Structure formats: C-alpha cells, structure tokens
A = this chain, B = another copy of it.
Amino acid sequence: MMKIATIVGSIRKDSYNMKLAQYMQKRYENDVAFEIIPIHDLDHYDQDVEEDAPESIQAFKARLTDADAFLIVTPEFNHSIPGVLKNALDWLSRGEKEMEGKPTFIAGAATGALGTVRAQMHLRQILNAPGMGANVLPGNEILIGRVQHKIDEKGNLTDEATVEFIDGVIKQFIQFTQLQKERATL
C-alpha cells in the first residue's frame, strides 16, 4: 500500500487542517496509508549546522526516506504558508532532498471563504523549486472554505460535495502515481 507522508502546516491542537488530515487518513485507510509527520519541534533551518544537523532534523528526515508520496495539508497565514511549514520544506530541500521526484498533493482548509487558495499558489511555486523537486498532482485543488460549518465535533467532514471532491482527488492521485511509475519504466 502506498505510504503517504503527511505534513500539516498548523501546529495548534485543534487545527482544522490536522482534523482534515486525520479524516482523510481514516476514510481512505483501505486505499493508502497516510502517516502524519509532526514538524513543531524542528529547529530553524541554518546552513551552518546542515552537515551536522540537530537531532530533531535527522529524525524528521529519517522518517521520510521511505515515503512513496507526500500530502501537505495547510492553513494560510498572511497570504502564504505558515513559517513552520516553510521551515520544514527548507530542510527537505537540502541533503537527501526527500521530496525529490515524489508524487505530492496538497489540501487546505480555512474558516474564510477562499479556502487557502493564496497559500496553495505559493506552495506550488515552492514545491517547483529545484531543491524541492516534488512531483505535484496538477489541478485537484482541495480548497475547503468555511470549514467550521463542514466538519463535526468528531472531525468528520459533513459536507457531501466536499467529501465527493476529495474522493475524486484521491482516485486521481493514485492514478497519477501509477502513471508516473509506468512512464518511468518505459
């Protein structure tokens, strides 16, 4: 089963984006294995310590080496991605470059109407940098606006159209990953 390393851009306890990641983890557990990798304890990226990286970084990177794919679920902070998420990505762009060539998709939830669209635009540009080199699923933008009205106390998505859309994205992502593999072996 495809192992999808899942990074959540918010570190607050009741994060809607964490709930979304956990909801997806459970809903698609027979199809793919989402493994949520925490980023709250990572040191700030510093080129000076890169060669002898802090333990938090080594442990983080070690958990990602055998990931088949990546999912990033993030809120929008100030029209971009949170600093804590960018910092995690900055580390992944160095050394082993754990995301390089890996199928990746993106999701985001917000209480506002726009559903993190600006953060996702930035994120796609970031993931396109040579250091990152992620293989990002085109289109399939999981942008959940007004999330506070679409998720219940148990963390279940209650908005049918949203659930159907995400179901479709998961299918697309699995096909996308298989297609990359087939094409790569030609």
Give A contacts to B, CB under 8 Å: 10-13, 40, 42, 44-48, 77-90, 93, 118, 122, 125-126, 128-129, 131-132
Nearest 4 pairs between A and B by C-beta? A83-B87, A83-B86, A78-B129, A44-B84
Q: Are B80 and A86 in contact (CB under 8 A)?
A: yes
Out of B46, B77, B89, B125, which one reaches A40, CB within 8 Å?
Answer: B46
Give min CB distance, A180 to chain B, whole Å: 22
- Write out the residue numbers on chain B whose beta carbons fall within 8 Å of the beta carbon of A80: 80, 86, 122, 125-126, 129
Out of B12, B46, B81, B93, which one reaches A48, CB within 8 Å?
Answer: B12
Q: Are B12 and A47 in contact (CB under 8 A)?
A: yes
- Write out the residue numbers on chain B whose beta carbons fall within 8 Å of the beta carbon of A78: 86, 89-90, 93, 126, 129, 131-132
* New contact pairs (12) apart from A12-B46, A79-B125, A83-B85, CB-CB < 8 Å: A42-B44, A44-B87, A77-B93, A78-B90, A78-B126, A78-B129, A78-B131, A80-B80, A80-B129, A82-B87, A83-B84, A83-B90
